[in-house]
Chains A and B, each alone.
Chain A
Amino acid sequence: QKEVEQDPGPLSVPEGAIVSLNCTYSNSAFQYFMWYRQYSRKGPELLMYTYSSGNKEDGRFTAQVDKSSKYISLFIRDSQPSDSATYLCAMSAIRTSGSRLTFGEGTQLTVNP
């Protein structure tokens, strides 16, 4: 079983739709939860960062972490064509030798004008 499972998609939505992206994980030691956005042929860029359980909002983006269910989500409100990208969830545990992110396989999102 993979440590991190991500809804594979691909996902295609009309402009303005609310998008929900989800990941589950098995390692209860994970404390830090992130979402990265990766445009085609580019490196991932950090979109949202959450420590432990709870919600975090940044503009049109909301990240939710439910550690009891080992489940994280990213919501995108009023989606735009520029949001079309692959979204990767990532998480890490506390380590002394530098945090080690474990990624989901990504969900490819297309927002149609």
Chain B
Amino acid sequence: DAMVIQNPRYQVTQFGKPVTLSCSQTLNHNVMYWYQQKSSQAPKLLFHYYDKDFNNEADTPDNFQSRRPNTSFCFLDIRSPGLGDAAMYLCATSRGQGDGYTFGSGTRLTVV
């Protein structure tokens, strides 16, 4: 089945130690998104790629970076995770204008 796959499902990292979360899609969608979701809060958009064009949200901390080496893969890099970065990180894809998103199952990040 076509889908959005996130790895790993659970990630534990040490305070300040760089971590990378990955997302892959078999839907061939143009747009890939990274959202951060904390407990009982709305998902918060960090950035998205429209094809190769990177779009950063104004309030996304510099600590968060992203790479999209090809259509299928997108990575979220957290350079120096802090305790406040513990959250569920959701990858999503869409075809573009007004289209519904397809989400992955998320990666739950714990910072110790």
Interface residues of A (CB under 8 A from B): 4, 6, 31-32, 34, 36, 41-46, 49, 51, 88, 92, 94-95, 97-101, 103-106, 108
In the complex, what's the smallest C-beta–C-beta distance from B96 to chain A, in angstroms?
6
Most chain B CB within 10 A, of A36, A88, A97, A106, is at A97
Chain B: residues with Cβ within 8 Å of the partner, total of 30
12 contacts between A and B (CB under 8 A): A4-B42, A41-B108, A43-B6, A43-B90, A43-B106, A44-B43, A49-B100, A94-B98, A97-B53, A99-B96, A103-B42, A104-B42
In the complex, what's the smallest C-beta–C-beta distance from A99 to chain B, in angstroms?
5
Say yes or no: is B105 at the interface (Cβ < 8 Å to chain A). yes
Interface residues of B (CB under 8 A from A): 4, 6, 30-31, 40-43, 45, 48-50, 53, 55, 88, 90, 92, 94, 96-106, 108
Verify A46–B106 contact, CB threshold 8 A: no
Verify A32–B98 contact, CB threshold 8 A: yes
Bound complex: CA A94 to CA B92 (Å): 18
Residues of A within 8 A of B42 (CB): 4, 6, 88, 103-106
Asked if A44 meets B94 with Cβ closer than 8 Å, knowing A88-B43, A100-B48, A105-B41, the reply is no
Residues of B within 8 A of A100 (CB): 45, 48
Residues of B within 8 A of A41 (CB): 88, 106, 108
User: A31-B98, A43-B106, A99-B96 provided; 17 other pairs, C-beta below 8 A?
Assistant: A41-B88, A43-B4, A43-B104, A44-B43, A44-B103, A46-B100, A92-B98, A94-B97, A95-B97, A97-B48, A97-B50, A97-B55, A98-B97, A99-B31, A101-B45, A103-B43, A106-B41
